[in-house]
């Protein structure tokens, strides 16, 4: 999905639980626990400590209770890489006082874009819907699309009548 493009929603971007800015992996064991313990669950917490350039590692290390400045610099680098250029520009404007967060900013559009590239057949076809907008899509369409995306390898190339018996009837024999 498209990243948030207003300052308020950039700052509210979550850092844990599989969110776009969640960078925990085998190189950062315990990061989610550290973030939860310190209450630094959104990008705003990190920006408040590191500055809008996300470059004050000592302050963030202190915030998170980390002893390694090198590891903290690595975290900041990865969070910075997770931002698109427009978001980084918005943070720069925030730091220079040009922009301020507005809680009235509309929530970003959310949707689902199933990756069905390389799969074919009537059972994986989602029609012209390359992206399902959560605000407008009907429940049944969304459900079907989710099922197709989750089961795409099993549905690939299958006919849509695989469970129905194939009866060949001849009208000539019954006359």
State the Cα–Cα distance between residues 163 and 125, nearest whole angstrom.
18
Assign 173 a pLDDT band (cuts: 50, 70, 90). low
Report how far Cα 143 is from the mean position of its chain's Cα atoms. 19
Coil, strand, or helix at residue 132? strand
pLDDT of 127 strictly over 60: yes
Secondary structure element (H or E) that encloses residue 111, with its range: strand 111-112
pLDDT at 2: 53
DSSP classification of residue 4: P
Specify the length of the chain in residues.
175
- Full-model pTM: 0.68
| Cα four-point dihedral sign 53, 59, 65, 67 | positive
Average pLDDT over residues 105-114: 82
Range with lowest mean pLDDT among 56-60, 76-80, 119-123, 143-147: 119-123
Kindly list the domain boundaries of the chain, sorted by start residue: 7-95, 111-155
Alpha carbon distances (Å) from 53 to 3, 58, 105: 18, 14, 23
**Pure H helices in the chain:** 7-11, 31-38, 43-50, 57-64, 69-81, 85-95, 139-150, 152-155, 171-174
**Token pair in block for residue 127:** 């029609």
pLDDT of 46 strictly over 90: yes
Cα atoms in the Cβ-side hemisphere of radius 13 Å centred on 129: 21
Average predicted confidence (pLDDT) for the chain: 86
State the Cα–Cα distance between residues 18 and 32, nearest whole angstrom.
10
pLDDT at 20: 92
pLDDT of 126 strictly over 80: no
pLDDT at 96: 94
pLDDT of 67 strictly over 60: yes
Range with lowest mean pLDDT among 16-25, 47-56, 119-128: 119-128
pLDDT at 166: 59
Assign 170 a pLDDT band (cuts: 50, 70, 90). low
State the Cα–Cα distance between residues 141 and 88, nearest whole angstrom.
36
pLDDT at 98: 94
Phi, psi of 76 (to 5 degrees): -60, -40
Average pLDDT over residues 125-148: 80
């Amino acid at each position: 999905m498209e990243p948030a493009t207003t300052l308020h929603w950039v700052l509210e971007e979550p850092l844990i639980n599989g969110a776009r800015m969640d960078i925990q992996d085998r190189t950062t064991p315990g990061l989610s626990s550290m973030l939860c313990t310190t209450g630094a669950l959104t990008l705003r917490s990190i920006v408040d400590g590191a500055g809008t350039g996300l470059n004050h590692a000592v302050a963030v290390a202190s915030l998170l209770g980390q002893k390694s400045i090198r590891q903290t610099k690595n975290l900041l680098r990865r969070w910075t890489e997770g931002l698109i250029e427009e978001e980084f520009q918005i943070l720069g404007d925030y730091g220079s006082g040009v922009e301020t967060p507005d809680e009235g900013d509309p929530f970003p559009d959310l949707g689902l874009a199933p990756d069905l590239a390389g799969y074919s057949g009537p059972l994986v076809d989602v029609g012209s819907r390359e992206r399902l907008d959560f605000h407008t899509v009907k429940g049944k369409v969304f459900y079907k699309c989710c099922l197709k995306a989750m089961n795409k390898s099993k549905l690939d190339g299958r006919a849509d009548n695989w469970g129905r018996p194939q009866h060949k009837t001849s009208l000539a024999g019954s006359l």
